[in-house]
Structure 1
Amino acid sequence: MEKVRIGFIGVGGIAGAHLNILSKMEDVEIKAICDINPQTLKRRAEEFGVQACYEDYREMLDKEELDAVYICVPPFAHADMEERAAEKGLHMFIEKPVELRMENAIRKHEAIKKAGVIASVGYCARYLDISDKVRELLKDRTVELVLGYFMGGAPGTPWWRQRDKSGGQLVEQTTHMVDIARFFVGDVEAVNGAFVALTKPSPDWTIDNASVVTLYFESGAIGAITSACMLGQGFKTGLDLFARDFIVEFTYGGIRIREPGSPPQEIKAGVNMYYEENRAFIDAVKTGDRSLIRSPYEDAVKTLEVTLAADISARERRVVELKFKG
């Protein structure tokens, strides 16, 4: 195919980053967009010159001739979007997290697998060149400890601060650190979580303010992922990995390598992770090469399970074993 015909379900928030990138690709046509907010829909249509606009994704999927669809909706709003797209034979780029309930995510995974379509999930940190470097550095080393952080303020989006809509910070935001830890160290077999919410800034605030989650990796490594969204300021986002006589500090902007007797070595990220994940998806759709996709849907469901299991662990005060194998 010369041009990949794209439809968008949800054009607010993160969708803007994808639209900006895709609109500059010569082999992409943004053919149709859909959003339940008519003002957002109109603004995006004018911004990107899209004629076909819908407020019902079902109507868009039924009427438009598409090759792929971007699903950029809040965690609570996925409904049957993936199943309907799969039935149409459409490839999908889906923003994280993929769901709020494991049974729904598994059902969608099965529909995607049955249809044989490509489904990529927006765990963008996997596409950084420094992520490749970290994996290279760790290839012949044994990681024993992982410490991750996503600590700062809360986004202004109203649904984000409501547990039944976002799943909370760990599920919606810190999921990036959980996922990149899995990318570097491997699958997680069990989790133990602790959550706290001693203060409440508004009546609609139903999420926890902070959490600490212990990860037990299949490799034998252990990890701790810390979240905080009540700080009202930027603080710390990243992942530190520890092996014998070796430390790697990872952030989106670069990595720092520490070894005894040597000054720290710093390597800056050299690519735009959002561009890279979009380019990989478009190329995969055009060529059928699934190896270009670093976060396929099945793998993203594993990351989801870690975060949801941590929540169960915190509520029930017990270690929770993970079950999903794909």
Structure 2
Amino acid sequence: MASKPASRRPSERRPSGIGGSLPSSRRASIDPSRLVRMDRVAHVGGSDDFNVVFIGAGNIMFGSDEGPWNHSFRFEHKLGPRLKVVALIDPAIERAQAVLQKKCDSFVVSAYQNTRIYKSLDDYAAAVANSNERPHAIAIGSPPMFRGSTKVGRDVELQILKHFPGVPLFIEKPVATGTEEEIQDAYTVAKAIKESNAICSVGYMLRYLKAVQMMKQIIEENNLRVMSTVARYACAYEAIAKPDWWDKSKSCGPIVEQGTHFCDLSRYFGGEVDISSVTAHSLEWDEEAGHLSKIPIDESKIAPENRIPRVTAATWKYESGAVGSLTHVAALQGTNYSCELEVFADGYSLKLVNPYVQPILYVRRPGDDYEETHRFPDDDPFFSEVSNWIDVIEDIEEDPEAAKILSNFDDAVKTYEFTWAIRRASEKSIKKKE
């Protein structure tokens, strides 16, 4: 028989409503000194098993050569021998078997030796319906087209709430990649999660960068009002070999699927966006300047109307009156991206460079024309987001410095709506041109 969830101390009982927002007594940021590398963190204490369900057996959950993502690796380091992956859910059974066998052949075998594979959440729920098994947490790394919706087959969050009410959720970003008309469905899912009081975190990992939290710290300590955010995201398109990424009908385009991280960071610093103010222009695949010489897939197999833009440039107003901008470019070859986010306030410039690999923060302060340089080698926001989520599950305190979740589902839907607004504005500009 599977072990029951570990008992929780009185201080760990979840306050009402925390599924959607943090209590006002707690800071909305993290002291950057508390974000430490996973090789310097002790495993979560205790002897009880921590039962986890993984939904998705792909790159996000188990890693690949294309990027640093690998949630299972972070779970293993955070929970140590307590980790027990009780189920791996993926319709691609052979892929699930392959990644599971690789784990069982390694030193983390104790976490996976009793893992069962299921084709669907319904199959798993039916298998445990008459048992005492209830997972401590569920991590969702399936493609975004299968989540964030109220439509049957794409409503994994609602199905989890039905079968396992209150179980904590970790959900990858973007929360969905449905049509623009389905954005309200995502808000419906957000409302259901909030009302369930389930502890939910969405994988906007750049919020957990030490550099980002240092920027937040400077803004908070100096009582600054952000005046402008300027974001630039240039991807190495030659290394993007997933055909779906190049097809707007499947991935929703590079702003919704990829630029979402910088749209989210822009909101994190600038506040809520006045959606009606969003304007954008794009460089399309069939324009003279839009030719790319090293596309790794056969773009001719994608309908012309579904081919992605090469450049999208957007501007908007925040509700505070501040101004934001984003330029997303599919132009670089090789493997390294070039990304920057600059935040301006009275007397201050905070510039984040290269956040995905070796983040650098340049700070200019009042009274000084020169920039301070802060480097953050070996920072791992993927670990920090998982670590904070698990700490909130295990130990909720009314301490302003306690572990915290920086992106819940409702907040992530706002970023999703924002990215769609940019895509819509850029496509309207094409029609005007014609």
Name the TM-score, length of structure 2 as normaliser. Answer: 0.69
Partner of 1:8: 54
Give the C-alpha shift of residue 310 in structure 1. Answer: 1.4
Deviation of residue 226 (structure 1)?
0.9
Is contact 1:75–1:165 with CA below 8 Å preserved after alignment? no
Matched residue, 2:203? 122
Give the aligned partner of residue 176 of structure 1.
261
* Aligned partner of 1:264 among 356, 368, 371: 371
CA contact (8 A) 1:189 1:217 kept: yes
Match of 2:338 in 1: 236
Q: Which has the higher mean CA deviation after the structures are superposed, 11-20 or 44-53?
A: 44-53
Q: In 2 relative to 1, CA 226–142 (structure 1 residues): closer, same or farther, beyond 3 Å?
A: same
Match in the other structure for 1:41? 96
Closer, same or farther in 2 for the Cα pair 1:105/1:204, shift >3 Å? farther
The alpha carbon displacement at 1:317 in A equals 4.3
Contact 1:23 1:48 in 2 (8 A): no
Partner residue in 1 for 2:351:
249
Taking the TM superposition and a 5 Å limit, the aligned residue runs for 1:185-224 are 185-190=270-275, 191-199=278-286, 201=295, 202-205=299-302, 206-224=307-325
For residue 114 of structure 1, report the CA deviation from its aligned partner: 2.7
Corresponding residue for 1:92?
169
Whole-angstrom CA distance in 1 between matches of 2:124 and 2:55 = 9
Query: Who is 2:123 aligned against?
Result: 59
Aligned partners of 2:258, 2:419: CA distance in 1, in Å? 10
Task: Give the gaps of 5 or more residues in structure 1.
Answer: 319-326
1:19, 1:235 → 2: CA distance?
25
| Aligned-residue identity in percent | 24
For 2:73, the equivalent position in structure 1 comes to 20
| Cα deviation, residue 150, structure 1 | 1.5
> 1:239: Cα distance to partner?
0.5
Residues 1:298 and 1:316: Cα distance change in structure 2 (over 3 Å):
same
- Cα deviation for residue 157 of structure 1 reads 1.6
Question: Which secondary structure state, in structure 1, belongs to the residue aligned with residue 174 of structure 2?
Answer: coil
Cα shift at 1:37: 2.2
Shift in CA distance, 149/62, structure 1 to aligned 2, threshold 3 Å:
farther
The one-letter amino acid of 2:227's match is: E
- Counterpart of 2:156? 81
SS of the aligned residue for 2:228 comes to strand
* The structure with more strand, counted as a fraction of residues: 1
Preserved contact between residue 91 and residue 119 of structure 2 (Cα < 8 Å): yes
State the alpha-carbon separation in 2 of the partners of residues 162 and 299 from structure 1. 26
Answer whether contact 1:258 1:264 (CA < 8 A) is retained. yes
Aligned to 1:147: 230
Match of 1:135, SS state, is: helix
Question: Which residue pairs with 2:38 in the alignment?
Answer: none
TM value normalised by structure 1: 0.90
| Residues 1:204 and 1:292: Cα distance change in structure 2 (over 3 Å) | farther
Q: List per-residue Cα deviations over 1:203-262 (Å, max 9, x = no partner).
A: 245222220111211121111111112433435212011223321111321211124644
Q: Whole-Å Cα distance in 1 between the matches of residues 161 and 233 of structure 2?
A: 33
Contact (CA 8 Å) 1:162, 1:204: kept in 2 or not?
Answer: no
In the alignment, is the contact (CA less than 8 A) between 1:23 and 1:30 conserved in 2? no
Indicate if the aligned counterparts of 1:76 and 1:164 stay in contact, CA closer than 8 A.
no
| CA–CA separation in structure 2 for the residues paired with 1:313 and 1:262 | 37
Residue 143 of structure 1 deviates from its aligned partner by 2.3
Rg: which structure is higher? 2
Deviation at 1:288, TM superposition (A): 4.9
CA deviation after TM superposition for structure 1 residue 19, in Å:
0.5
Aligned residue-pair number: 318
Task: Spell out, residue by residue over 1:296-322, the C-alpha distance to the aligned partner (whole angstroms, 9 max, x if none).
Answer: 11110111110011122223349xxxx
Distance 1:141 1:110 in 2: 32
Conserved? CA contact 2:341–2:352, under 8 Å: yes
User: CA separation in 2, counterparts of 1:46 and 1:37?
Assistant: 14
Deviation at 1:138, TM superposition (A): 2.0
Contact 2:53 2:87 in 1 (8 A): yes
- Distance in 1 separating the partners of 2:246 and 2:122: 28
For residues 248-280 of structure 1, give each alpha carbon's deviation from its aligned partner in whole angstroms, at most 9, with x where no partner exists: 111321211124644321112363111111111
> CA 1:127/1:219 → structure 2, altered by over 3 Å: closer, same or farther?
same
Residue 222 of structure 1 aligns with an amino acid whose one-letter code is: V
